[in-house]
Amino acid sequence: MAALLLFCLGSLFYQLNGGPPHFLLDLRHYLGNSTYLDDHGPPPQKVLPFPSQVVYNRVGKCGSRTVVLLLRILSEKHGFNLVTSDIHNKTRLTKNEQMELIKNISTAEQPYLFTRHVHFLNFSRFGGDQPVYINIIRDPVNRFLSNYFFRRFGDWRGEQNHMIRTPSMRQEERYLDINVCILENYPECSNPRLFYIIPYFCGQHPRCREPGEWALERAKLNVNENFLLVGILEELEDVLLLLERFLPHYFKDVLSIYKNPEHRKLGNLTVTVKKTVPSPEAIQILYQRMRYEYEFYYYVKEQFHLLKRKFGLKSHIRKPRPRPEFFIPSPLETEEPIDDEEEDDEKWLEDIYKSGGKEILLSAFHTLGMDTSSG
């Protein structure tokens, strides 16, 4: 009760110190107060305001490789400033690091879209204009399993990819059975390592890394107050549709690019290999250890489905299950390593080019009628 009281006071303090970005307030006015029961189609055609500051603080192993590649194509097509970071392995920042990063982002040429694996940053706390946030999450156990096997065995970009990524990993660790890791409570398969998604939305406060109600509720508040859209990877095409509707200056034509066969060839290079299914007992233990992650995941999923209905997109909502349905096939599996070993996106694109992806990417540009003469 005391924690919830402190959380509510913190929420009030936040609102008195700037609150959500004006664009999100305009969007809520645009959408109105319709619900599942009284919303039966797309809203009337209106022109949404154009946000010129967007942050995609991408969650690892939740489709961000796909989205980053799309953003590189879209930035060339639409002329916005895609800003990345030279730091790829730090999601938790000191106060001085937060101030420095916020300063660097805020001084970027607008319109910009900044992307990095980093926990939520409160720009208004340091006197900056709060940008619009977007993100994508996925089923927590699926995300964990993709990370577990990717760190050990890499993806289809090359048989030795994993050896380059984790050269110091001992052989007994690399071939550690996933069931042993879970059932014998190895650190990699236990908290706080399993408490991964929520901190991206909770923020930089030390308590955001502690599994519990405080971090969960703060993450929900930030989703409501600062995120234009938090999508579900299992419904990626609908995520892209909504991004195109909300942010057309950034995402116009994104779905046609995503569905382009040439683009799919690039995405297929990053599918994790050698994934195996844990035993039902091990999965149940994971579910128990990740109960806060699942409460957050289902909260976001419900909000996402509500948003889809407001725009006339149908959701296939099933009755609640006693435990989550694991191993839902996603439209395009894309993989990122754990947060202390995030991959440099520029390096990843270089690897794609070396493996013959440059011709594929250029073909995708030409198919979409884009000029590639500049290099």
Neighbours of 346 (CB within 10 A): 12
Burial, 318: exposed, middle or buried (Cβ in 10 Å; 0-12, 13-18, 19+)? Answer: exposed
Give the helix/strand (H/E) hosting 289.
helix 280-289
Q: Where are the beta strands (DSSP E) in the chain?
A: 53-56, 81-83, 112-115, 132-137, 227-232
Beta bridge partners of 227: 133
3-class DSSP state of 246: helix
Helix, strand, coil share (%) of the chain residues, nearest 5: 55, 5, 40
Q: Indicate which residue of 117, 119, 162, 263 is catalytic.
A: 117
Tell whether omega for the bond before 192 is within 30 degrees of 0, i.e. cis.
Answer: yes
Q: Which residues of 20-40 are buried (b: 16+ CB within 10 A; e: fewer)?
A: bbebbeebeeeeeeeeeeebe
Whether 123 and 129 have beta carbons less than 8 Å apart is answered as yes
Whether 146 and 272 have beta carbons less than 8 Å apart is answered as yes
Q: Is 305 a catalytic residue?
A: no
Residue type, 63: G
Whether 289 and 191 have beta carbons less than 8 Å apart is answered as yes
Q: Which residues are catalytic?
A: 117
